[in-house]
Amino acid sequence: MASIFQIEKKCPQTGARTGFLFTRRGVIETPVFMPVGTQASVKTLTPEEVSGLGARIILANTYHLFLRPGHELIARHGGLHRFMNWPRSILTDSGGYQVFSLAKLCKIEEEGARFQSHLDGQEYLLTPELSMEIQAGLDSDIRMVLDTCIPYPCSYDEAKRLTELTHRWEKRSLLAWQKNHRESLVFGITQGGMFEDLRRYSARVIANFDFHGHAIGGLSVGEPHDLMIEMLEASLSELPEEKPRYLMGVGTPQDILEAVSRGVDMFDCVLPTRNARRGTLFTSFGKISLKQSRYKDDERPIDPECQCYTCRNYSRAYLRHLFMAGELLVYRLNTIHNLHFYLCFMEGIRDAIRKGRFEEFKKHYYERKEESEC
Closer to ligand 2YO by Cβ: residue 150 or 306 = 150
Is 95 part of any known ligand binding site? yes
Q: Between 246 and 323, name the residue whose CB sits nearer to ligand 2YO.
A: 246
Nearest to 210 by CA among 240, 236, 183, 165: 240
Nearer to ligand 2YO, 35 or 249 (CB): 249
79 appears as a binding residue in the annotation: no
Comparing C-alpha atoms, which of 228, 131, 250, 112 is closest to residue 187? Answer: 131
Catalytic residues: 93, 268
92: nearest Cα among 158, 46, 159, 137: 137
Task: Of 25, 21, 22, give the one whose Cα is nearest residue 81.
Answer: 25
Give the binding site for ligand 2YO (CB under 6 A): 93, 96-97, 147, 149, 189, 217-221, 248-249, 269-271
Shortest Å distance, C-beta 150 to ligand 2YO = 7
The residue nearest ligand 2YO at its CB is 249
374 is in an annotated binding site: no
| Nearest-approach distance from CB 141 to ligand 2YO, in angstroms | 17
CB of 166 to ligand 2YO, least distance (A): 9
Contacts of 4 (CB under 8 A, 6+ apart): 21, 22, 23, 185, 212, 213
Nearer to ligand 2YO, 57 or 248 (CB): 248
Q: How far is 234 from 318, CA to CA, in rounded Å?
A: 47
191 assigned to a ligand binding site: yes
Residue 221 and residue 192 in contact, taking contact as beta carbons nearer than 8 Å: no
- As measured in angstroms, the least distance from the Cβ of 83 to ligand 2YO is 22
Annotated binding residue at 337? yes
Rounded to whole angstroms, how far apart are CA atoms 151 and 84?
Answer: 33
- From CA 17, how far away is CA 32, in angstroms rounded? 11
Could you list the residues known to form a binding site for Zn(2+), using ranges.
Answer: 306, 308, 311, 337
Binding residues: 93-97, 147, 191, 218, 306, 308, 311, 337
Known binding site for substrate: residues? 93-97, 147, 191, 218
